Structure 1
């Protein structure tokens, strides 16, 4: 019998996102960077050309042992398994990530795969193997950096639109009130001006 033995090393495939719904279903995006930006703009790491996506919609950050999804103040929101994100969230393999109403991606966590075979010396029969101390890596909780959401320009535009519409409605109500008072109650309308002596 040969004095050599085989050892199989395992490595991890990178985590990835698979498009389930939206433009280009079935497309796979591997998460190889520390920070991955998602959005409609072509400058993002993952660019998805859907009108429901904001220019910079969300960010995925790789932390020790996990990936964290964070919405960047998008107009139509980011979702994990149908639940809208209100704070950064750690992803689990199999989670369905939604961006607006049209785009759904599946998060597939890292999985081990056989990498290579290593030749090593076999321990002779009768000899006690040398004890090896295996130190377990203890995952320390890493604080998730919460940065201010970068403005995409769209939420602010909607706020200004609503403010303008509100001012217009208020202006119409005031003009209508003055017109009605002038027609039906001019004594009340002009009384302050008479007291001040502006009109006789």
Structure 2
């Protein structure tokens, strides 16, 4: 099992369709540009998770990320062996698919192209193995970014407007008291006839 047989494919989040070939024994996933799988999303930690190649396959481990790592919808609480086709989610907005490549299929596609004897029916014959080789690995469906979720508004703007209104009310009260203070102070005395 060579390390180039596996890859991570971005499904949702920034740059859907981006393919990261897994070529190292240990691959880091995160927002930092020094990682092997770089995902530029605010919900992804700088070093979010780690993929380690073992004889049993790749093991995914969360590195104490803020928004969590999920495999097929289940939060990762301990290292877990990944299977081809597993959906890895980083937080709520980014998902990647762990995929196995088919190196035999690539070799099959390359052989008909290297054939030097062209015949009238040879291009059709060469096209059929290529089509069969491509169908050996599952096609990657186009994934659209989900519509951005509507936020509840801008809480800082709402708080600022609320503070401004409170300042206006307090200022109006102080002005009212200052302007009408003599009348307010002596009103009870006038009512009592003093």
> Given the two structures, how large is their TM-score scaled by the length of structure 2?
0.52
* 5+ long unaligned stretches in structure 1: 1-10, 118-200
Structure 1 CA distance for aligned equivalents of residues 52 and 71 of structure 2: 15
Aligned to 2:34: 43
* 5+ long unaligned stretches in structure 2: 112-194
Structure 1 CA distance for aligned equivalents of residues 13 and 37 of structure 2: 13
1:54 aligns with 2:45: yes
More strand by share: 1
Deviation at 1:66, TM superposition (A): 0.4
Deviation at 1:112, TM superposition (A): 4.5
Structure 2 CA distance for aligned equivalents of residues 12 and 36 of structure 1: 11
Question: Could you list the runs of 4 or more consecutive aligned residues of structure 1 that deviate by over 6 angstroms after TM superposition?
Answer: none
Structure 1 CA distance for aligned equivalents of residues 21 and 6 of structure 2: 6
- C-alpha contact (below 8 Å) 1:13/1:111 kept by paired residues: no
Structure 1 CA distance for aligned equivalents of residues 50 and 4 of structure 2: 21
Structure 1 CA distance for aligned equivalents of residues 62 and 5 of structure 2: 22
Q: Which has the higher contact order (CA 8 A, sep 6+)?
A: 1
Aligned to 1:34: 25
Deviation at 1:84, TM superposition (A): 0.2
More helix by share: 2
Q: Deviations over 1:40-73 (max 9, x none)?
A: 1111111111000011100000111400000000
Deviation at 1:29, TM superposition (A): 0.4
Aligned to 1:88: 79
- C-alpha contact (below 8 Å) 1:20/1:104 kept by paired residues: yes
Aligned CA distance change for structure 1 residues 56 and 12 (closer, same or farther; 3 Å) = closer
Q: Secondary structure at the match of 1:113?
A: helix
- C-alpha contact (below 8 Å) 1:38/1:46 kept by paired residues: yes
Q: Secondary structure at the match of 2:5?
A: coil
- C-alpha contact (below 8 Å) 1:12/1:112 kept by paired residues: no
Structure 2 CA distance for aligned equivalents of residues 101 and 86 of structure 1: 16
Aligned CA distance change for structure 1 residues 37 and 12 (closer, same or farther; 3 Å) = closer
- C-alpha contact (below 8 Å) 2:5/2:103 kept by paired residues: no
